[in-house]
Amino acid sequence: MKNYNLAVIGGGASGLCAAINCARHNSKMSIVILERLPRVGKKILATGNGRCNLSNINTQSSSYHNGEFACAALNKYNVEKTLAFFNSVGLLTVTDNEGRVYPMSYTAPSVLDALRFEAERLTIEIRCQTPVTKIQAVSGKYIIYNGANAISAEKVIIACGGKASPSQGSDGSGFELLKNLGYKLTPLLPALVQIKTKTDLIKSLKGVRAKARISVWIQGELISESSGEIQFTDFGISGIAAMEVSRYVSCHFQSGSKKSCLISIDFVPSLSKNEVSDYIYRSIKRNSALHIEGLLTGIVPKAVSAAICRAAGINLSLELSDLSEKNISGIAQCIKSFNLEATGTKGFESAQVTSGGVEVSEFNSQTLESKRHKGLYCCGEILDVDGGCGGFNLQWAWSSGLTAGKNAAL
């Protein structure tokens, strides 16, 4: 049985960083990465629509679920230090006006290649098509099984990812490995995922995009809100703003609660309801012969204008001069609160990240070492930490991987 100083289970973003940083801090360590897919880093290639939005300069602990736990790693390897790490492996980056960081090439393979080349330079062994089926802690070492085959390691970093996007390698197998070692899991749910709604109000809006503020209300209580682009689909809504609040919709439906879950869309968050009403009155005064469907095209897409009027109970064949004060108030209300009843979310196959994971209280936040097993570390999505859209989850992968790798080298 071959023995290593460190085995990293999972060759994704956090696993590659962990192995590299460990090798940099202790060149005498023998390190192997065990990856179940034919190549490492497949999920990296899919991020940012192939451009790899690898970080966000606005990152802070409040950007994450369980941010208090995550802040130690995020502070040790903050955005500046993370980008310095990437610069040290030959990757230059650029930042857009919303704080999102991309490789200068705007291609995800640049990020993966930089990490692969550095792992090769450091003589880190990479074994692909090697799914880990079991881990045993035996006499101060870890026996790691790949079916009937096994290796041993003095230390282990588990960086298998979550359950989101299983086609990219995150099949949830890491959770089973840890559960078999006695670790507790919080409920695993799809997050940063599309929201399903009743579609009677949005059948005509498939493919339409709009900037808006979206809010999740459960039995009249505001649970979460976000602003940005939304996109209407044949099953509900997608887009960054919808994905940002989707974890709360997932949690609600996973809980089995019978309470109603309402998605409220404000199409013009910069205007008050009274200001919208004033806009409508001015539009009518300016051109009373205008067709109802064109009433709101100065502030929302034409298809959205028609859907809002229908939601307000307005017959689209009416003349503008036929609209009553009550009609106008109703239209303004629907612009500010276009309400859809949520029916759930898409599944893990459509999700960008997993909500839930290994209970963080079982790990030292400073080192990411287990409190239960000496020499066992976790990093990345397998821990119960997740953030919003815009590079935050990859930043957690880098920060946690670099932290685990450095401490495993000691």
Encode pLDDT of 182-240 as tens digits: 999 999 999 999 999 999 999 999 999 999 999 999 999 999 999 999 999 999 999 99
Q: For 174-189, what is the mean pLDDT?
A: 97
The residue behind tokens 């940083």 is 21
Q: For 54-58, what is the mean pLDDT?
A: 98
Give Cβ neighbours of residue 392 (< 8 Å, ≥ 6 apart). Answer: 56, 59, 63, 64
| Orientation of helix 13-25 relative to helix 108-121, angle to 10° | 30
Distance CA 8, CA 150 (A): 14
* DSSP state, residue 356: -
Query: How high is the pLDDT of residue 40?
Result: 97
384 — pLDDT class (breaks 50, 70, 90): very high
pLDDT digits (tens, 9 = 90+) for 277-321: 999 999 898 888 888 888 898 999 989 999 999 999 998 888 888
Q: For 394-407, what is the mean pLDDT?
A: 98
Q: What tokens appear for 359 in the block?
A: 């209970």
Is 11's pLDDT higher than 90?
yes
pTM as predicted: 0.95
Mean pLDDT of the chain: 96
Give Cβ neighbours of residue 373 (< 8 Å, ≥ 6 apart). Answer: 137, 181
Spell out the domains of the chain, with CATH numbers in brackets.
3-189+350-408 (3.50.50.60), 194-346 (1.10.8.260)
For the CA atoms of 32, 384, 389, 97, the dihedral, rounded to the nearest 10 degrees, stands at -80
Asked if 84 and 56 touch (Cβ cutoff 8 Å), the reply is no
Query: How high is the pLDDT of residue 380?
Result: 98
Percent of the chain with pLDDT over 90: 92
Closest Cα to residue 50, out of 7, 112, 120? Answer: 112
Query: How high is the pLDDT of residue 289?
Result: 80
Give Cβ neighbours of residue 401 (< 8 Å, ≥ 6 apart). Answer: 13, 14, 15, 16, 17, 18, 21, 159, 379, 380
Query: How high is the pLDDT of residue 319?
Result: 82
Which ranges of 229-369 does DSSP label H, i.e. alpha helix? 240-254, 273-286, 302-311, 325-336
Is 125's pLDDT higher than 90?
yes
Is 169's pLDDT higher than 90?
no
Query: How high is the pLDDT of residue 320?
Result: 87
Query: How high is the pLDDT of residue 340?
Result: 98
Is 26's pLDDT higher than 90?
yes
Query: How high is the pLDDT of residue 288?
Result: 80
For the CA atoms of 69, 75, 77, 79, the dihedral, rounded to the nearest 10 degrees, stands at 110
87 — pLDDT class (breaks 50, 70, 90): very high
366 — pLDDT class (breaks 50, 70, 90): very high
Give Cβ neighbours of residue 255 (< 8 Å, ≥ 6 apart). Answer: none
- In this predicted structure, which of 65-74, 297-306, 393-402 has the lowest mean pLDDT? 297-306
Query: How high is the pLDDT of residue 235?
Result: 97
Q: In 3-state terms, what secondary structure has residue 404? A: helix
- In this structure, which long-range contacts are made by residues 105-113, counting pairs with CB atoms below 8 Å and at least 24 apart in sequence? 106/51, 107/50, 107/51, 107/52, 108/44, 108/45, 108/46, 108/47, 108/48, 108/50, 108/51, 108/52, 109/45, 110/52, 111/44, 111/52, 111/54, 111/86, 112/40, 112/41, 112/44, 112/45
Q: For 63-86, what is the mean pLDDT?
A: 98
* DSSP state, residue 383: B
Beta bridge partners of 215: 225, 264
Q: For 75-103, what is the mean pLDDT?
A: 98
Query: How high is the pLDDT of residue 113?
Result: 98
Query: How high is the pLDDT of residue 317?
Result: 84
Say how many Å lie between the first and final Cα of the chain, rounded: 24
Greatest alpha-carbon span in the chain = 85
Closest Cα to residue 310, out of 240, 205, 192, 380? Answer: 205
Q: What tokens appear for 319 in the block?
A: 């003349």
